[in-house]
Amino acid sequence: MVHCLRKIVCQLPVKLLVVLLLMINLVNCNIFSTDESLPYYSSQDLTPIWNNTNHRIAKFNLVDQNGKSFGTESLNGKIYIANFFFTTCPSICPRMAKCLKMLQDSIYSMQQVAIVSFSVMPWVDSVNKLNQYGKENNIYPDKWHLLTGEKTVIYSLGRASFFADNNKLDDTSSFLHTDKMYLIDHQQKIRGVYNATNLNEIARVLNDITLLKKEL
């Protein structure tokens, strides 16, 4: 009997196995709980607190992969997942793109949820470069926004608003590189921090999005 079950599981397509894994994780996360609430993150050490905080992502205005202005105003009333990447990254960025692609497909029908990726090499990642990267990675530009612009603006956001690494908050000289992704609520507050290279984190993000949508 056990041998037969193993044989069946091994014959399942990879995508179906991933879906089954997500379903199991969602059940384990108790996605239908009505009592759970998400913490806030307002310090550089990213320690979760359950008291509301004044810390918000600073206002910004950059350019997306379609050459259109995109910023804080574009995200009014929305929840979004943010990360930092660059198109020529050979290490963690391809793994992050894979995780975020799965997340994109899972939230595509959720009009109040978006993904925002900030390029940390804006001097290389032009609009055309981001557009091509989006096509290569099957990114839907109406759901997943790839942003470029002034380096000082992006690095300030990364360090002072998202606490993206351990460098000084006002440091714009050293390179910004992180495998984190952040869940931001409709008030521009950080409500979740995850490893963007780990497929197992997708279920946790989806669970937290469901909880956060109740606050809209």
Q: Which of 80, 61, 77 is nearest to 69 (CA)?
A: 61
- Please name the helix (run of DSSP H) or strand (run of DSSP E) that holds residue 119, with its range, or none: strand 113-119
Q: Which fold has domain 2-213?
A: Glutaredoxin (3.40.30)
Whole-angstrom CA distances from 104 to 33, 53, 206, 216 are: 23, 28, 11, 20
pLDDT tens digits in sequence order for the chain, 216 residues long: 434 444 444 444 544 544 544 554 544 444 333 458 999 999 999 999 999 999 999 999 999 999 999 999 999 999 999 999 999 999 899 999 999 999 999 999 999 999 999 999 999 999 999 999 999 999 999 999 999 999 999 999 999 999 998 655 556 567 888 999 999 999 999 999 999 999 999 999 999 999 999 999
Tokens coding 185: 């609520």
Reading the block at residue 49, the tokens are 């607190």
Output the CA angle 159-190-68, nearest 5 degrees: 70
Residues 120-173: tens digit of each pLDDT: 999 999 999 999 999 999 999 999 999 999 999 999 999 999 999 865 555 656
| Domain ranges within the chain, ordered by starting residue | 2-213
